[in-house]
Chain A
């Protein structure tokens, strides 16, 4: 699986957009970018995923660069409850064969939303 690099921490003011970057320069053509978050000591929560195109759901937007070597997770209006560790994960497509089940969680980015 491609390795990801994220800043260890970021701050954001409440109500502002939070932009969390992720570098995945070794990503393969068929690998997806997934984002999860973990609010203090709770189980991780799926946020969004994408392959090439930008994606948006009720939680966030995902912007993937044209060369796919980096991406940005955007929380459009951050709240105090968005304070969490955010994980960027690169993974092969579902059931592409073999043991392609795995999500490898790194250390992520601790986002602190300040009042």
Chain B
């Protein structure tokens, strides 16, 4: 079974809709991250969470919000989706004392 899972894997939505992407992990890691990747580019950090009560903005947080419901769950929301949020979204986890991040399989989001 995958240690880091993301749902949905693919989503097509329309401009203005609210979308939630979910991430769950069974690794027992404290830290969780949300990244987006645009074609031909590297990953950019949206939000990160060091524990349930510690959530921080990354480099491109505008237009996104997150919720850390439990140690194992970290959700990313687009309150009002727009076409330039079309991208591949990755969730990742890490232990507190490590830079090794474990990534989920990704969610491909298309905003029409």
A, B from the same assembly: yes
CB neighbours of A77 from chain B (8 A): none
On whether the beta carbons of B106 and A41 are closer than 8 Å, the reply is: yes
B89 to chain A, nearest CB (A): 10
Taking a contact as CB atoms under 8 Å apart, the answer to whether A43 and B99 are in contact is no
Residues of chain B within 8 A (CB-CB) of A99 are 56
Residues of B within 8 Å of A, CB-based: how many? 28
B90 within 8 A of A: yes
Q: How large is the interface on A (under 10, 10 to 19, 20 to 34, 35 or more residues)?
A: 20 to 34
Confirm or deny: B102 has a beta carbon within 8 angstroms of a beta carbon on chain A: yes
Across the two chains, which residue of chain B brings its CB closest to A91? B99
Q: With A43-B104, A101-B50, A103-B101 in contact, do A95 and B40 touch (Cβ < 8 Å)?
A: no
B34-50 interface (Cβ within 8 A of A)? 35, 40-45, 48, 50
| Cβ–Cβ contact B48 & A95, under 8 A | no
How many A-B pairs with Cβ below 8 Å? 51
Q: In the complex, what distance in Å separates the CA atom of A45 from the CA atom of B101?
A: 8
Cα separation A45 to B88 with both chains bound (whole Å):
16
A95 B92 Cβ-Cβ under 8 A: no
Closest residue of chain B to A108, judged by CB? B42
A interface majority secondary structure: loop
| Interface membership of B11, Cβ < 8 A | no
Which residues from 72 to 109 on chain B have a C-beta closer than 8 Å to any C-beta of chain A? 88, 90, 92, 94, 96-106, 108
Contact of A42 among B40, B42, B99, B106 (CB under 8 A): B106
Contact at A107–B41, with CB atoms within 8 Å? yes
Say whether B99 contacts A34, CB under 8 Å: yes
Q: A41–B105 Cα gap in the complex (Å)?
A: 8
Interface residues of A in 69-97 (CB under 8 A from B): 87, 91, 94-95
Does the CB pair B103–A95 fall under 8 Å? no
Q: B92's closest neighbor in chain A, by CB?
A: A43
Q: Could you list which residues of chain A lie within 8 angstroms of chain B, going by C-beta atoms?
A: 32, 34, 41-46, 49, 87, 91, 94-95, 99, 101-108
Identify the 3 closest CB pairs spanning chains A and B, nearest first: A43-B103, A105-B42, A105-B43
Given contact pairs A41-B106, A101-B94, a sample of 19 additional A-B residue pairs in the complex whose CB atoms are under 8 Å apart: A32-B99, A41-B88, A43-B90, A43-B92, A43-B106, A44-B103, A46-B101, A87-B42, A94-B98, A95-B96, A99-B56, A101-B50, A102-B45, A104-B42, A105-B43, A105-B44, A107-B40, A107-B42, A108-B42
